[in-house]
Amino acid sequence: MATQNSRSAARLMLAPAVILLLGWMLVPLTMTLWFSFRKYLPLRGGDQGWVGFDNYVRFVSSSSFWPSVQTTLIIVGGVLVITVVFGILLALLLDQPMWGQGIVRILVIAPFFVMPTVSALVWKNIFMDPVNGLFAHLWKFFGATPIEWLSQASVQSIIMIVSWQWLPFATLILLTAVQSLDGEQLEASEMDGAKPLQRFGYIILPHLARAITIVVLIQTIFLLSIFAEIFVTTGGAFGTKTLSYLIFQRVLESQNIGLGSAGGIYAVILANIVAIFLMRIVGKNLDA
């Protein structure tokens, strides 16, 4: 897009998409902002006018607020660490020439196509059920007392379920990056005396930095708002109440739209803080 002409044409062509996207984002955001300053209880008197920052103050001073922020960050962080670490390992493994490569790759991608609700139910009932679950049987086989996953290790369980869903995505992106690594660089480092671990640390990992950045950024966006997995498994109990789950409870269970909206705005702020933070740490990988 070099010339003045093609640039303005491009702008014209892009305009509808940009306007649509803006509307898409701005309308709900503005509505949320609007409601967050009103006292709105649908079953208890409806919209009762402006209340200033009341909703905001109430949302933060609730005893569930800080724990929910903490849970959100723990779940997001845990899933990121697991998916990136195992994603790299799987990508390196899948890059090796082996028999049935195509099928294995499809199988690895498969969990991504399972709906969150379904996969959470599968995990809950088939794997984590304290009486009939596979894990319970496994524990019993070794003579141990089965863990009641969703109550004793609730946050870990949710991290496990969500990681299982997102691992394929991370693996896929990282695999394409691994495949784009110039083989001669590895050979050169081999001749330079780098051992396998050093080749990984000095050559492969830096090469993957950009892909890892992308995985982290995209996953963070989606993970901040996970909901179905919690709804289906613990219902927010046992310390698994994330910020988005708390908002859901405020709006639907307490029927307080104003309070929920204020929570929504907090969620937006939290997401932005996390995003800026991530951009700071990893964003420099993107412009290299």
Neighbours of 168 (CB within 10 A): 21
Q: Which is nearer to another protein, 139 or 202 (CB)?
A: 202
DSSP secondary structure letters along 164-181: HHHHHHHHHHHHHHHHTS
Question: Which range touches another protein (CB under 8 A), out of 39-47, 92-100, 158-166, 192-200?
Answer: 192-200
Asked if 220 contacts 80 with a C-beta cutoff of 8 angstroms, the reply is yes
Query: What backbone phi and psi angles, to 5 degrees, belong to 264?
Result: -60, -45
In angstroms, what is the minimal distance from the CB of 87 to another protein? Answer: 20
Per rule CB under 8 A, is residue 182 in the interface with another protein? yes
Instruction: Indicate the residue among 8 and 198 with the shorter CB distance to another protein.
Output: 198
Question: Which lies closer to another protein via its Cβ, residue 54 or residue 190?
Answer: 190
Which residue lies nearer to another protein by CB, 13 or 288? 288
Asked whether position 189 contacts another protein by CB under 8 A, the answer is yes
Please state, in angstroms and rounded to a whole number, the distance separating the CA atoms of residues 230 and 114: 16
Give the integer Cα–Cα distance in Å for 277 and 167.
23
Which residue among 176, 198, 254, 272 contacts another protein (CB under 8 A)?
198
Rule CB under 8 A: is residue 206 a binding residue for another protein?
yes
CB 125 within 8 A of CB 133: yes
Q: Which one of 106, 191, 196, 287 is in contact with another protein (CB under 8 A)? A: 191
* Count of residues interacting with another protein (CB under 8 A): 19
Q: Does 282 bind another protein (CB under 8 A)?
A: no
| Shortest Cβ 287–another protein spacing (Å) | 12
- Rounded to the nearest angstrom, the gap between the alpha carbon of residue 175 and the centroid of all alpha carbons in its chain is 19
Q: Does 188 bind another protein (CB under 8 A)?
A: yes
Instruction: Report angle CA 153, 263, 25 to the nearest 5 degrees.
Output: 110
Phi and psi for 238 in degrees, rounded to 5? 55, 40
Instruction: Kindly list the residues in this chain that would bind another protein in the complex (CB under 8 A).
Output: 182, 184-185, 187-195, 198, 202-203, 206-207, 209, 288
